[in-house]
Amino acid sequence: MLLGMVHERPPLQWNDLPGMAVGWLQSAGGYAALGLLFWLAVRLLQRQESPLVQRWPVWLRGVFYGLTALSLGSYLIFGGLRLASAAEELADAFLTVAGAAALLAVVLPVVAELPRLRWRRIQGIAALTVRESVRGKVLWVFAILPLLLLFADWFLPHRPENQLRTFVHAVFWTMGPLLLLPAAVVAAFGIPRDLKQQTMYTIVTKPVERFEIFLGRFAGCTFLMSAALLLMTVCCLVYLGVHGVHPDAAASGWRARVPIYGDLSFRGRINDGAGVRMREWGYRRHIAGGPSSNARAVWAFETLPTERAGQATVPCEFHFDILRMSKSPQEGKGVFCTLTVQTWQWRPEQLPAYERELARLQAEQRGKPQPATPEELRLELAGKFGYCEFPSKEVFDQTTFSIDVPSALFRKAQEGYEPVRQEAARNGQPAAPPLTVVVKCDSPTQFLGMARHDLYFVEDECSFAANFFKCALGIWFRLCLMIGVATALSTYLSGVVSLVTVLFLYGAGLWRPYIQNLATNRAESGPADALLRLANRLPMTAKQEETAVTRTAGLLDEVFRWCLQRILNLFPDVGRFDLADHVAEGFDISGGTLVMCVLLLLGYVLPWVVLGFYALKSREIAS
């Protein structure tokens, strides 16, 4: 059986957008403000206005200078408030206003020039880029993929149930470098080659805007690599259809489940193992087992599966981590657990009435030729009491299991819930979730570990082929990112320097979570504090005396973390574009995930496009 999705970083949600937008305005606006300061310094040294600004209309120059003054003034107020260590929220608001004003001042000239652009000229430059790349035999590198498909079974050993998972990871790990490296080379050397061969001098003397050269190079390279990506994706799907998939792998991985996740919390005494991290990898928390254990894992579901016609039950899948504190008396046996699904109407006082009703139904089944099983009787009572118990479910380590929850339970959860939720909102209190799933470990001296995404309801099943193409969009996002940054760098730097820089930025983006943890984790010692400890021969866990030297070291570490956080924004979060795990584990890539990827891509690439606009405009090429 397949394992399940592991989300070491929480997936981006719609409610994260406001915070992301504010952070983007502050970070991108800070770099825009640095550009404005540099432009002001150059203008003061030259004592004349730049030719680029002289060509702007009067209204544009007025708005530009007004936004620049607003940005610099807001930054001064922000600095004063932070030095005073007061009104942090107000200081943060001024920082956001300053960044937004700086961004508008920088972007406004770019927007004003857009009406002068012509699609046919951009299309011509894009077609030239495609022809140059084909003549340069860049596409020959893609011949490596057919070799992988032909000899995949030789070099990719796997168990039958893991065949599809291994193939998906191998294919997308191979397609990434095969596409990203040629894309970076073509984008980084396009404009510098035009300058070296002096074809740029012929182009700029024609009625062609310089920004059209940038957009044409970007569009041509993106089109070429997109066509290659589409062809490679189709070939991989055809190979899967022709080669065939093992039945065990098809049953577990040839799926695209649409999961509904809940919020996980733990109940019970801490010393009894409720929510305790038992392994070095702290992704999952564990609960202790046994009849006397009161440790519980509780999933609260605010969103319920939509009821479909003819669907009597909804699958609830789960996979747990097992930590054995003693050897099982029967070899090959798993760990037993009880899952309880209950609605917000259920009260513990109803348990005796529920058991009496269950006993009555069991008595009625006696003597019948085909009596109903106790599990079927529990499913029958679920809609009446809003309670359903699945006792003694045997589970194995990191193996996915499923229980069928009756649809009547979800209908019961929705009955009268909306007035209760509105009443709680008016009183300023959180409402009880409409549905909860409680997990208890029954096996003594055993521990069950779980994370939030280890239990979910399967709302729907989508097409695996469509999900495969969605995963290819993750590579396409990284292609656009690489091409956009390389093209922007090549407007002012040489081809080799542009290529090395974009590869460094991409490589640093792969380590972005670690760098971000270093920049934001105040519990870890900073460089100044570490140096002071080395000088005083103190261990990292020892507490230092509060002196002027230690306070200075702490202040230097705060400045270091702040600068590191600003530098971190230069590195793209490429890990968010890696969607291969969804396909490998049989989970559908939602439209919301793709939209968030698009927003992340635009937020990172657009500042580089603006930088390329100014770099190409200010560069002296021909008169």
CA distances from 461 to 128, 247, 456, 464, 588 (A): 44, 18, 14, 9, 8
* pLDDT value at residue 604: 93
Report the alpha-carbon distance of residue 70 to residue 376 in Å, rounded: 70
Q: What is the pLDDT of residue 608?
A: 94
405 three-class SS = strand
* H helical segments located in 115-209: 119-135, 144-150, 152-155, 163-196, 199-204
d(C-alpha 457, C-alpha 474), whole Å = 25
Q: Put the strands of the sheet holding 313-318 in their side by side order.
A: 257-261, 455-461, 313-318, 401-406
Q: Looking up tokens 């709680």, which residue turns up?
A: 424
C-alpha dist (Å) from residue 361 to 179, 194, 340, 384: 64, 84, 20, 13
Grouped pLDDT means (10 residues each) for the chain, 623 residues: 70 88 90 87 72 72 88 88 74 89 90 86 87 76 64 62 78 85 89 78 69 90 91 84 70 81 85 68 86 89 78 88 77 85 90 87 80 80 88 86 90 88 84 92 89 91 90 94 94 91 91 73 67 78 76 77 78 90 89 92 93 82 53
Helix or strand (DSSP H, E) at 338: strand 335-343
Backbone angles phi, psi at 327, to 5 degrees: -75, 140
Residues 50 and 64: their CA atoms lie apart, in Å, by: 14
- In Å, the largest CA–CA distance within the chain is 104
Strand order in the sheet with 321-324: 285-288, 446-450, 321-324
In whole angstroms, what is the distance from residue 455 CA to residue 458 CA? 10
Model pLDDT, residue 248: 67
Place of tokens 């097409």: 463
Angle at 426 between CA 420 and CA 429, to 5 degrees: 75
pLDDT at position 308: 66
Residue 1 confidence (pLDDT): 46
